[in-house]
Amino acid sequence: MAKYKHTIVKNGKGGYVVFPPFVTQKEMDLIEEKFVVRDDDVFVTAYPKSGTTWMEQIVHLTLNNGVQGDKVLSEAVPWVEGINRYQGVEKLLNQQAKPRRFHSHLPYHLMPGAKLNLAKYIYVARNPKDNAISFYFHSCSKLGYDGTWDEFFDLYIQGKVGYGSFFDHVLDWWQASQKSNNILFVKYEDMKQDLRQAVKTVADFLGVKLDEELWEAIASQSSFESMAANPQANLDWVYQRPEFPKHMRKGIIGDWRNYFTTEQNQIFDEIYLKSMKDTDLQFDFGEGIII
Ligand code: A3P
């Protein structure tokens, strides 16, 4: 089995969860100690590879009157649990932007302030087959993973990849969103289907009024093509291994069909149906398959 570099941290529910190598219990303790959430803070949250950067771009533009500015997106909407890797806790918390804005992949139970219903949280979820494929390429290009897709598939279905099980992550956030007006739950596939509507939903949630021109500008600057061509938004600067695709890889629904074997698909469907049996949350897997 190929080695997937990781750490193990407390999951906030009495157990443990697999995290990426650069987020350890030390960072989580620091966050718990220092992160005082303000009621106007805005968090973009997601299981990795679900469209986090895409939502960061929409939120950033919405709060910034459609102006991209010269900061790269991951500085404009900094990464909560990346405190030691990138910005340091003071810079993270003392950002000049008002309201402060953050992005994070933390599970619901570890997210600063989430249970207090103080700040605003926008959670993006994506169908897990496309998510797994995107996560595989991300692990190869940015996390030094050198295993095969087949090996990654096994890790993914066991929840042994960064931030743990897709199902635990998404279902905890989904359930919380059903009980809280402070959490907006958005699906990647709905954003693909109607980006303008997604921008409107986000703006309404953030209490920002959009005129037609601004609305159009935000949607246009948030398209896959615009973001891929935009050095502030395309994350090329964190891209490490040129033999693998960049962060803005394909941005489509249904790419999993090019990689899942028939057997993997059967295994995945069984796990999916079992994990999702008690929820009304559904995902669009492309070509009209909604489960
Ligand atoms: P693919 O690898 O399937 O192309 P995250 O930001 O959470 O890491 O998610 C990355 C995924 O979102 C990548 O998926 C990326 O291409 C996709 N993505 C980013 N911006 C997008 C956009 N504007 N439209 C569609 N997909 C986008």
Output the tens digit of pLDDT for each of the chain's 291 residues: 568 899 999 999 999 999 998 899 999 999 999 999 999 999 999 999 999 999 999 999 999 999 999 999 999 999 999 887 767 888 889 988 999 999 999 999 999 999 998 899 999 999 999 999 999 999 999 888 999 999 999 999 999 999 999 999 999 999 999 999 999 999 999 999 999 999 999 999 999 999 999 999 999 999 999 999 999 999 988 777 888 999 999 999 999 999 999 999 999 999 999 999 999 999 999 988 999
pLDDT of residue 199: 98
In a domain, 255, yes or no: yes
Burial of 249 (C-beta count, 10 Å sphere; 0-12/13-18/19+): middle
In a domain, 123, yes or no: yes
In a domain, 74, yes or no: yes
Our answer on whether the CB atom of 52 is closer than 6 Å to any ligand 1 atom is yes
Our answer on whether the CB atom of 48 is closer than 6 Å to any ligand 1 atom is yes
In a domain, 272, yes or no: yes
What amino acid positions are annotated as catalytic residues? 105
Report d(CA 267, CA 265) in Å as an integer.
5
Q: What is the tally of structural domains in the chain?
A: 1
Q: Which atom of ligand 1 is nearest to the CA of 46?
A: 7
Nearest CA to ligand 1 atom 17: 251
Report d(CA 149, CA 283) in Å as an integer.
22
Nearest CA to ligand 1 atom 18: 251
Q: 33 lies in which domain range?
A: 24-276
In a domain, 9, yes or no: no
Q: To test the ligand 1 pocket, which listed residue (248, 250, 252) has its Cβ within 8 A of the most ligand atoms?
A: 248
In a domain, 238, yes or no: yes
Give the residue from 95, 96, 76 showing the smallest Cα distance to 35.
95
Global model pTM greater than 0.85 = yes
Expressed in angstroms and rounded, the spacing between residue 101 Cα and the centre of ligand 1 is: 20
Report d(CA 171, CA 232) in Å as an integer.
32
Burial of 255 (C-beta count, 10 Å sphere; 0-12/13-18/19+): middle
Burial of 251 (C-beta count, 10 Å sphere; 0-12/13-18/19+): middle
Our answer on whether the CB atom of 218 is closer than 6 Å to any ligand 1 atom is no
Expressed in angstroms and rounded, the spacing between residue 206 Cα and the centre of ligand 1 is: 22
Our answer on whether the CB atom of 126 is closer than 6 Å to any ligand 1 atom is no
In a domain, 4, yes or no: no
Our answer on whether the CB atom of 221 is closer than 6 Å to any ligand 1 atom is no
Report d(CA 130, CA 112) in Å as an integer.
28
Torsion of CA 8, 11, 12, 14, to 10 degrees: -90
CATH of the domain at 112: 3.40.50.300
Backbone angles phi, psi at 94, to 5 degrees: -100, 25
In a domain, 247, yes or no: yes
